[in-house]
Amino acid sequence: MTEQQPYEVVRQTKDYELRRYPACVIAEVTVDAGFDEAGSLAFRPLVNYIGGNNRSRESLAMTAPVVQSRKLDMTAPVVQQAAEDGQQVVAFVLPASVSLDSAPIPTDPRVTIREVPPSLTAVARYSGRWSRSSYDHHLAELHKAIAADGLLAVSAPRLARFDPPFKPWFLRRNEVHLDVAEPS
């Protein structure tokens, strides 16, 4: 069974789950591609990295989810950038036992390792294809639901994919993630 990124459910609504994620370490690749092509382009270097294409030739277990987001220009507002195409970042969450210091050093310069800080995240789960239109629809619904509950998004949205591409599309588990500000 594939290890999944741990989290604690803070609140469940009919439209989303509010989850608390601990810090984690990710391996990521940035690609110049549209939303629908990014996962395919970034997947091979990431699989090679966890398969031992690193300085210590250490294999790491595959985990879920695979996370995709748009690379942001830190000089422009997040809301304005969210709907545009451009560079996409695709990441594997590394096993919980891996720290930033213990993560193998990639030999492929496209792969970078970084730590993601803890977060409070609104998550909308859905099944279906990994298409931009499906993602955009579920993202819009999540934005409406969190706004109605008085929550403020503080990150770029992310697509989380849990299943391999050979799994029938109607059985795939997908999620849209938006980090939100801590309620006061």
- Segment 69-77 shows an average pLDDT of 62
Q: Comparing 46 with 183, which gets the higher pLDDT?
A: 46
Residue 104 has what pLDDT? 98
The answer to whether 18 and 11 are in contact (CB under 8 A) is: yes
Residue 73 has what pLDDT? 55
Percent of the chain whose pLDDT exceeds 70: 92
Q: Which residues pair with 141 in a beta bridge?
A: none
Sort residue 116 into left (φ over 0), alpha (ψ -120 to 50) or beta.
Answer: beta
The answer to whether 106 and 9 are in contact (CB under 8 A) is: no
Residue 55 has pLDDT above 70, yes or no: yes
Please tell me the total count of domains within the chain.
1
Token representation of residue 1: 């069974």
Q: Determine, yes or no, domain membership for 39.
A: yes
Residue 165 has what pLDDT? 82
Residue 92 has pLDDT above 60, yes or no: yes
Residue 85 has what pLDDT? 58
Q: Which amino acid is at 172?
A: R
CATH number where 161 lies: 3.20.80.10
Q: Determine, yes or no, domain membership for 171.
A: yes
> Please, which pLDDT band fits residue 166 given cuts at 50, 70 and 90?
confident
CA 69 to chain centroid: 6
Domain boundaries, position 158 = 3-179
Convert 14-23 to b/e letters by CB count within 10 Å (16 or more is b). Answer: eebbbbebee
Q: Comparing 82 with 112, which gets the higher pLDDT?
A: 112
CA 87 to chain centroid: 15
Q: Determine, yes or no, domain membership for 184.
A: no
Cα–Cα–Cα angle for 114, 121, 161, rounded to 5 degrees: 70
> Please, which pLDDT band fits residue 153 given cuts at 50, 70 and 90?
very high
Q: Determine, yes or no, domain membership for 166.
A: yes
173 Cβ contact list (under 8 Å, min separation 6) = 125, 127, 161, 162, 163
| Model confidence, pTM | 0.88
3-state secondary structure of 134: helix
Q: Which amino acid is at 159?
A: L
